[in-house]
Amino acid sequence: MQRITILGATGSIGVSTLDVLARHPDKYRVYALSAHERVDALAAQCRAFRPQRAVVGSPEAAARLRELLADLAIDVAHGEAALCEIASSPDTDTVMAAIVGAAGLAPTLAAARAGKKILLANKEALVMSGQLFMDAVKEHKATLLPIDSEHNAIFQSLPGNYTSHAGRSPDAAGVAKILLTASGGPFLQRAVETLEHVTPEEACKHPNWSMGRKISVDSATMMNKGLEVIEAHWLFGAPADRIDVVIHPQSVIHSMVSYVDGSVLAQLGNPDMRTPIAHALAYPERIASGVDQLDLTTLAALAFHKPDFDRFPCLALAFDALRAGGTAPALLNAANEVAVQAFLERRIGFRAIDRVVRRVMDENPHGAASSIEAVMAQDARARAAAGRIVHALSA
């Protein structure tokens, strides 16, 4: 019986994880659930899965959750320290790290330092502090399994048990390139000159995937794919010039690995996050996910294109940050979070997102990512700088 903690239980990944767990009550038990502000949704999940612990973002949210769960023996807490506790508790075996943004870094790192099996859906743990995080995974013998459909597909297409923290390298495995597929989001065919007028509602309407608002906007700008490029570098030990992004609008091939002998291995499936979640939960075995089998005979065509950096400048910025190294990816991530939130609040336009990020990258020096404190200090500086830029643009 595997005991599971879900960080970010009310988000799309958390909901999909609970759906898979519910299909296998003989294999999994929920130890703890967390959410930031969606107290009613978390309360419903607690009633359905009866965890021992629940964590929310604020004292007010905790008081409300205790009121809703007064008849149940569930320990309710709030704040980052409580998140780190449920992620590192000896009473949990596996941690689904699905908190969106920089807020997920501390508890995910706590899980690594506690030697947990980590199902990584939080990109920022690697984007912001890749070397520090991977060092913690290796030192404390944690198990790290990717949940992003693209990285999970790459993991499945590599030789058995391949990860960079296990000491493997692309050269030793005969890997020529990592090929990350991308749907292109909702604006792949839209005239570039009209993107200035994109609304939050349009940006959040992804053609293939059901995701939260922030990740949906990142998909529309392809910053999401840029963050995945940085994540792939740390997960699989591939430098920037051996990671390619390929536009694949159908989202059937989730990613590929190209080998030195000319072979290309790919993982295919219907676009449903329950597939990579089930794969990581049961690895190295397989369990049913609830996802329909892919019927290849119904596919009219599978298309592939090179990304257009004029249409998707955020993708180019992410490659720049990866090549710069140090705290540059932390700058990129923080500035993007601020800019996306400002766009969702209608304070800046869609094409201002990449301009805010570029200015923060250009105007702030990139230091060494020597400690979590250094990374978080750079994160704070980037947020402050991005906030000032957004204020000037929206004035």
List pLDDT tens digits, range 247-280. 999 889 999 999 999 999 999 999 999 999 999 9
Are 201 and 262 in contact, with CB atoms under 8 Å apart? no
360 vs 307: CA distance, rounded Å: 24
Summary mean pLDDT of the chain = 93
CA angle (355, 358, 361) in 5-degree steps: 150
| One domain for residues 107 and 157 | no
Helix residue spans in 272-351 (DSSP H): 274-282, 313-324, 328-344
Distance in angstroms (rounded) separating the CA atoms of residues 225 and 245: 8
| 176 & 250 share domain | yes
Helix (H) or strand (E) holding 102: none
Give the residue from 291, 320, 349 where a domain finishes: 320
82 and 177 in a single domain? The answer is no
CATH of the domain at 43: 3.40.50.720
Q: Give residue-wise pLDDT tens across range 195-206.
A: 999 999 999 987
| Residue 307 structural domain | 147-320
Between CA 290 and CA 392 the distance in angstroms is 48
**160: pLDDT confidence band, cut at 50, 70 and 90?**
confident
pLDDT-based confidence at residue 167 (cuts at 50, 70, 90) = low
Quote the tokens at residue 156: 């499945």
Same domain, 175 and 250: yes
Average pLDDT over residues 38-52: 98
Mind listing the pLDDT tens digit for each residue in 64-90?
999 999 999 999 999 999 999 999 999
* Domain shared by 6 and 132, yes or no: yes
| pLDDT computed for residue 215 by the predictor | 86
Sorted by sequence, the CB contacts under 8 Å of residue 79 that are 6+ apart come out as 55, 57, 58
Residue 50 confidence (pLDDT):
98
In this prediction, residue 210 carries a pLDDT of: 64
pTM for the model stands at 0.91
User: Tokens 């597929």, residue?
Assistant: 181
Q: What's the total number of domains in the chain?
A: 3
Residues 199 and 71 in one domain: no
Task: Say yes or no: 207 and 123 in one domain.
Answer: no
Out of 320, 348, 377, a domain closes at 320
- Return the pLDDT at 350: 96
Same domain, 30 and 159: no
- In a shared domain, residues 232 and 364: no
